[in-house]
């Protein structure tokens, strides 16, 4: 189910602008990896290459290899649509489809896969909403618009939508940055549960959050302003927060810059 | 914010916290410039309202006496003898021709306009989308007489075989019966096609506008679920744009209903004694083209009143369509905010 991600010598471009340079890292199955680092250092950019969402942006392209259990994601035979069905994504701002009910939001991905059977859809909707810890709050109003939920509920709805298609990896780009502390805790609890089934990669600005939820932490930084972002250090979260190898990491987590 | 008089809108920093903007009363300063412009604006508003009211009263005052003298039922009669000792006139034929040509125009222009808008906003590379959009907008700048003339002299001849073919295949249906027209370009079907080209720019421009406003977040949400481009358009773009497309269609319909010159040039009037036909390959006159055709012979108040009454029906029809479009647009605003 969950898969291992291998990134090697990854350079990422927006047109002629090289945004990220020389990233290599490995993410183990059923673990949570946190990306931390100052704004603009390329965390979101790297994350979006993991499900080929980067190339959706005009001019977006990559150099290097990313593989999922030895399967090259950027092989020419690889269909980006298939990659995105395997590697789900949750965005910074909750983005439920505004015209759809809660049920239809969760079922959207399945319907794209051609599932029409109502009973099967209902089962997956219930299972996914339970998986996202949202079922009890919405089970009586599944036909109400998803946009009517609170921000935290919307974000969990988006997580339910992402896990409904049974992905192997779940990417989250600052999933709590638009949420209040209570909703944030709910999502963090959820991430802890999700890692028993999925490989999770999460971008976060919040270092306590990285320390709380992740097994491994990757610290990104800019070499200098105007230079591409790069991966400074990746290691066990425990190690990064107690005894990092690089001075820059130490400075960042102790709040001396960034 | 202080409440000292003299504070104006420019004192306000822009806020994006959803607070309503200052209302006009509070922004007013009582200075001379404010009072002049305030007065001018109010005056213009009152003037326009008065003008519309006067026009309305005038038209109704002209139409009512004719309608009272009418010996046929205005709403259900096909006759059109608006003057003389026994005036008999009704709008059935006019309504039919107007509605049929407009519906044909809609059936063609809405799917086509939506497709063009989708192409421009979702598929075309950026170097192509601007010129393509400009080109479609240019269609709106072509005067309607030119469309009519072009239809008559150029496009009509190409329509002839198409119409004949449709008639051979589908002629057994009353809608496609050959109505004894000498040529296909004087039929309701062809007038509808020319109308479709004329309203295409409106439909395209408004659809383009709403499609380009679809938030990236929604589109990426669909793509991240593994939607193909077309599936993304179906899940994110079309539902978001639907109210806009509906209002675009209504505005286009409003224009098609009232279009005069091109339709007048193309359509050939029916022989008054001809039986009523459901065929789109029949001739006929729309409200607007009938008024334009006969404008030279408004010699008695009785006669003029009959035409004005027909014009009022067109006005009401167009008003309803435009009002419906407004309602949809308002609902969409409430929804996207
Ligand atoms: N759509 C885009 N087009 C061009 N440049 C972009 C785009 N998105 C991000 N960038 C640039 O890529 C770099 C990394 O951005 P990003 O990955 O968003 O950083 P982070 O998520 O770490 O804050 C920045 O210099 C940013 O300006
Ligand atoms: Mg980011």
Residue B134, token pair as written in the block: 């400009």
* CA A41–ligand 2 middle distance (angstroms): 8
Looking from the CA of residue A57, the nearest atom of ligand 1 is 1
Please report, for residues A134, B98, B167, B272, the alpha-carbon distance to residue B276 in angstroms, rounded to integers and kept in the order given. Answer: 63, 15, 18, 10
Residues of chain B with pLDDT under 50: 1-18, 337
User: Does residue A149 belong to any structural domain of this protein?
Assistant: no
Residue with token string 């931390």 = A36
Q: Do A85 and B242 touch (CB under 8 A)?
A: no
* A95 to chain B, closest Cα gap in Å: 6
CB contact under 8 A, A108 and B222: yes
Residue A153 in tokens? 């509920």
CATH fold label, B69-336: MetI-like fold (1.10.3720)
Query: Range of A24's domain?
Result: 5-96+168-253
Q: CA-to-CA distance for B91 and A7, rounded, in angstroms?
A: 74
Residue A233 belongs to a domain: yes
Q: Which of B221, B219, B199, B223 is nearest to B211 (CA)?
A: B219
- Ligand 1 midpoint to CA A40 (Å): 6
A13 C-alpha to center of ligand 1: Å?
10
Atom 27 of ligand 1 has which residue's CA nearest to it?
A40
CB contact at 8 A, B209 and A38: no
The CATH number covering residue A228 comes to 3.40.50.300
A35 Cα to the center of ligand 1, angstroms:
15
- Mutation pick from A49, A54, A97 vs chain B, by most beta carbons of B within 10 Å, is A97
H or E element, residue A219: strand A216-222
Q: Are strands A216-222 and A32-36 parallel, antiparallel or unpaired?
A: parallel
CB B239 to CB A100 under 8 A? yes
**CB pair distance less than 8 Å for A56 and B223:** yes
CB atoms A84 and B225 under 8 Å: yes
Chain B residue with Cα closest to A158: B221
Total domain count for chain A? 1
Reading the block at residue B247, the tokens are 């209002």
Would residue A9 count as lying in a domain? yes
Beta-bridge mates of residue B81? B88
A23 within a domain of the structure (yes/no): yes
Q: Is residue A245 part of a domain?
A: yes
Q: How far is B333 from chain A (nearest CA, A)?
A: 13
Query: Chain B: residue nearest A107 by CA?
Result: B225
Report the C-alpha dihedral over residues B250, B252, B253, B255, rounded to 10 degrees: 130
**Residue segments in chain A with a per-residue pLDDT below the cut of 70:** 1, 257-258
Say which residue the tokens 């993991």 belong to. A50
Query: B225 vs A98: CB contact, 8 Å cut-off?
Result: no
pLDDT for B26 equals 58
Cβ atoms of B252 and B106 within 8 Å: the answer is yes
Close Cβ partners of A64 (under 8 Å, ≥ 6 residues apart): A7, A8, A9, A10, A11, A23
Query: A215-245, pLDDT tens digit by residue?
Result: 999 999 998 888 999 999 999 999 999 999 9
The residue whose C-alpha atom lies closest to atom 17 belonging to ligand 1 is A42
B235, B227 Cβ separation under 8 angstroms: yes
Under DSSP, the state recorded for A196 is T
Q: Closest ligand 1 atom, CA of A45?
A: 17
Alpha helices in A10-148 (DSSP H): 43-49, 80-86, 102-112, 118-131, 135-138
Any CB–CB contact under 8 A between A20 and chain B? no
- Residue A172: beta bridge partners? A90, A202
Ordered alpha helix ranges (H), A149-228: 151-164, 181-194, 207-213
* CA-closest candidate to residue A245, choices A229, A258, A234, A231: A234
Which residues are A20's β-sheet partners? Answer: A12, A229
Is B248 exposed, middle or buried, given 0-12, 13-18 or 19+ CB atoms closer than 10 A? Answer: buried
Which atom of ligand 1 is the closest one to the Cα of A203? 21
Q: Given CA atoms B322, B328, B332, B333 in this order, what sign does their dihedral have? A: positive
Give the number of other CB atoms < 10 A from CB of residue A67: 16
**Three-class secondary structure of residue A166 per DSSP:** coil
pLDDT at B4: 40
The DSSP bridge partners found for residue A171 are A89, A201
Q: Which two tokens stand for residue B315?
A: 């006005």
Nearest to B76 by CA among B95, B52, B60: B95
Whether A5 contacts A23, CB under 8 Å: no
Q: Which residues line ligand 1 (CB under 6 A)?
A: A 14, 17, 19, 37, 39-45, 57, 229
| Pair of tokens at residue A48 | 């979006």
DSSP letters spanning B114-150: HHHHHIIIIIS-HHHHHHHHHHHHHHHHS-HHHHHHH
Looking at the domain assignment, is residue A64 inside a domain? yes
A161 in contact with B, Cβ within 8 Å: yes
Element (H, E) at B309: helix B301-336
Q: Is residue A106 part of a domain?
A: no
Best residue of B126, B221, B331 to probe chain A, by most A CBs closer than 10 Å: B221
B16: how many CB neighbours lie within 10 A of its CB? 5
């Amino acid at each position: 189910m969950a898969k291992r991600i291998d990134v090697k010598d990854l350079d990422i471009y927006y047109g002629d602008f090289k945004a990220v340079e020389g990233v290599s890292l490995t993410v183990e199955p059923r673990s949570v990896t946190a990306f931390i680092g100052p704004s603009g250092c390329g965390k979101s950019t790297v994350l979006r290459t993991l499900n080929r969402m980067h190339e959706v942006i005009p001019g977006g392209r990559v150099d290097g290899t990313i593989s999922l259990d030895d399967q090259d994601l950027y092989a020419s035979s690889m269909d980006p649509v298939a990659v995105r069905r395997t590697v789900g994504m949750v965005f910074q701002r909750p983005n439920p489809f505004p015209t759809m009910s809660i049920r239809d939001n969760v079922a959207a991905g399945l319907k794209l896969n051609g599932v029409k059977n109502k009973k099967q859809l209902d089962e997956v909707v219930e299972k996914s909403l339970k998986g996202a810890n949202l079922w009890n709050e919405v089970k009586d109003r599944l036909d109400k618009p998803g946009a009517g939920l609170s921000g935290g509920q919307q974000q969990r709805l988006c997580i339910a939508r992402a896990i409904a298609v049974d992905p192997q990896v779940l990417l989250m780009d600052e999933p709590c940055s638009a949420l209040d502390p209570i909703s944030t805790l709910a999502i963090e609890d959820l991430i802890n549960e999700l890692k028993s089934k999925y490989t999770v990669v999460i971008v976060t600005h919040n270092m306590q959050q990285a320390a709380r939820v992740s097994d491994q932490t990757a610290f990104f930084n800019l070499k200098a302003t105007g230079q591409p972002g790069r991966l400074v250090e990746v290691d066990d979260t425990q190690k990064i927060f107690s005894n990092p190898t690089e001075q820059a990491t130490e400075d960042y987590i102790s709040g001396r810059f960034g | 914010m202080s409440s000292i008089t003299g504070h104006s809108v420019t004192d306000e920093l822009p806020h994006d916290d959803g607070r309503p903007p200052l209302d006009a009363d509070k922004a007013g300063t009582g200075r001379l410039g404010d009072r002049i412009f305030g007065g001018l604006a109010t005056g213009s508003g009152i003037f326009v309202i008065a003008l519309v009211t006067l026009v309305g009263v005038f038209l109704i005052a002209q139409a009512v006496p004719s309608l009272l003298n009418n010996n046929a039922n205005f709403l259900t009669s096909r006759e059109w003898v608006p003057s003389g000792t026994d005036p008999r006139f009704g709008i059935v034929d006019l309504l039919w021709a107007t509605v049929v040509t407009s519906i044909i125009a809609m059936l063609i222009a809405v799917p086509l306009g939506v497709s063009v808008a989708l192409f421009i906003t979702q598929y075309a590379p950026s170097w192509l989308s601007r010129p393509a959009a400009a080109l479609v907008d240019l269609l709106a700048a072509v005067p309607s007489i030119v469309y009519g003339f072009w239809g008559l002299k150029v496009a009509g001849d190409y329509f002839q075989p198409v119409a004949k073919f449709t008639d051979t295949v589908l002629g057994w249906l009353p809608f496609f019966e050959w109505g004894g027209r000498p040529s296909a370009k004087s039929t309701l079907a062809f007038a509808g096609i020319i109308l479709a080209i004329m309203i295409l720019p409106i439909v395209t421009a408004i659809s383009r506008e709403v499609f380009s406003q679809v938030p990236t977040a929604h589109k990426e949400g669909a793509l991240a679920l593994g939607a193909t481009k077309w599936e993304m358009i179906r899940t994110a773009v079309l539902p978001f744009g639907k109210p806009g497309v509906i209002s675009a269609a209504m505005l286009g319909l409003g224009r098609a209903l009232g279009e005069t010159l091109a339709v007048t040039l193309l359509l050939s009037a029916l022989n008054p004694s001809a039986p009523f036909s459901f065929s789109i390959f029949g001739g006929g006159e729309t409200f607007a083209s009938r008024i334009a055709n006969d404008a030279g012979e408004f010699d008695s108040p009785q006669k003029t009143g009959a035409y004005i009454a027909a014009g009022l029906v067109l006005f009401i029809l167009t008003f309803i369509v435009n009002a419906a479009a407004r309602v949809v647009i308002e609902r969409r605003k409430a929804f996207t905010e």
